[in-house]
Structure formats: structure tokens, C-alpha cells
Structure 1
């Protein structure tokens, strides 16, 4: 590994950590809490308008950030690969709490059991249980 990456990284974050800008930050945080058991660790409010300047959330072992879309930081959509041990148990609450089903839980030819949902902000979530070890994991 290149030594440039040998630096302090806050607990729960990785070298690359997601940062979501969304038009309805509060709504997305509530969805992630309800559907994926997200835990809110911290929240900063913009004193000028009361919007969420930055919220740190944790799902499983991963931290990420959410902010109200504004100015040059327009609403940006992305995709996430969410590893779980029971795809069906997380797929249903996601749909029940407002996600659009992209595809139902199914066995994939690459060895995952997986489903796909789109959250209320338009982000894709591939909910996946890894069933086989791949060559690069050896």
C-alpha cells in the first residue's frame, strides 16, 4: 500500500467513505434508520438556514455522511453494496419504509443472494449476502 494512505482515520470510517448530498436529508436519515437500522452518531446544523450541514450515520460497521444538497453540492445519487446475513429480513423493511423495489431477493450467478431497492432520495442499494469466497479473497 502507498504510504500516502498511512494516516489517522476516525473509527468506523475507511480510506474511502461515502458522503451523500440529498434534497431531503432529514427524510433520508429517517428512512435509513427505519429500513437499515442506521444509527446517527453526530449532526451539525447550518446556523444560517437550519439545514443539516453534516450528519454522521453508521450502518453495521460502516460510517458515512449525509448533508443537505445546496449550492454547488446538488442532489447526487449513488449506489451502495450492503452486506448482510439475511437479505430477505432487510429487503422487506426497506420496501415497507418507502424504498422502490428494483428486484426481489434472488440467488445470483456470482454466488450472492441479493435484492435491489431504491431509497426515497434515488440511491440504489444492493442488499447482498455473500455465499461464496472469490479468488481475490484468498
Structure 2
């Protein structure tokens, strides 16, 4: 099985209203890098690909056939406090303040204006999760 570089076995695919602003949030609010874009005849994003760390996500403008839908994501970053600050500055709303968790992550949460929840996490120990 071949998986293109930057993709994983499971790749999140977002259908959102105002895909342009969502891609901007992924890039400016979460530190992503847009790597590819195709546009429909009406000028809306047909498919944009944004690299977030080691993962790529895809984004399309919602349509009647593929309506907008929200989800929740766990995003690992190198500095949870800085990442949280950047996300809030780019329009996200606070779900949970950043704090040290008993499972070895420093974590906080935001909700983007498209309804997605992002658990922004920094691993503070170099060991697997333990119950």
C-alpha cells in the first residue's frame, strides 16, 4: 500500500462553510502549512491540503451533498501555551485553559468558529500513556 508523503492511514477531511477562513485558521491559528489547493468554478475551495506537524488534513467548501460537520481533534504541539495563545488570537474560543494533566500532557482546548474542538497538547514525558 502506498500512502503519499505527509499523509497517514487516516486523514481528516473537513467540509466547512467558508473554507477559505478555515484554511487560514489552520495555517495562522494552528501553525499549519498549505501545500495544495484546487478551486471550483464558483471560486470556492474544492480541496485544500494543509500540513499540521506530521499530518496532512484536507478541506472543502461544504455543499448540499456534503454539508458542514464539526469534529474534535487532538493536536500535539511543541509548546501548548504558545499554540493556545495563537489559536485564540486567530478567533478560536476557549474550551479549557492549558494545564498539566495526570496522563503526561500539558493540554488546553479551543473551539474554532466552524465548531471543531481542538485539544492542544504538549507531551511532557517521553513514555506511552498508562491507565
TM-score above 0.5? yes
Does structure 1 residue 39 correspond to structure 2 residue 41? no
Which one of 6, 9, 26 corresponds to residue 3 of structure 2?
A: 9
Give secondary structure in 2 for the equivalent of 1:30: helix
- Give 2:94's match in structure 1, choosing from 101, 111, 118: 101
Task: Sort the Cα spacing of 1:84 and 1:26 in 2 relative to 1 into closer, same or farther, 3 A.
Answer: same
Structure 1 position 125 matched with structure 2 position 118: yes
Whole-angstrom CA distance in 2 between matches of 1:12 and 1:34: 19
Alignment of 1:1-138 (within 5 A): 7-47=1-41, 49-132=42-125, 133-134=127-128
1 or 2, which has the higher helix percentage? 1
- Runs of 4+ in structure 1 displaced over 6 angstroms? none
Matches of 1:52 and 1:84, distance apart in 2: 27
Per the normalisation by structure 2, the TM-score is 0.93
Long gaps (5+) in structure 1: 1-6
Larger Rg: 1
Which runs of 5 or more residues in structure 2 are unaligned?
none
Query: RMSD of aligned C-alpha atoms?
Result: 1.2
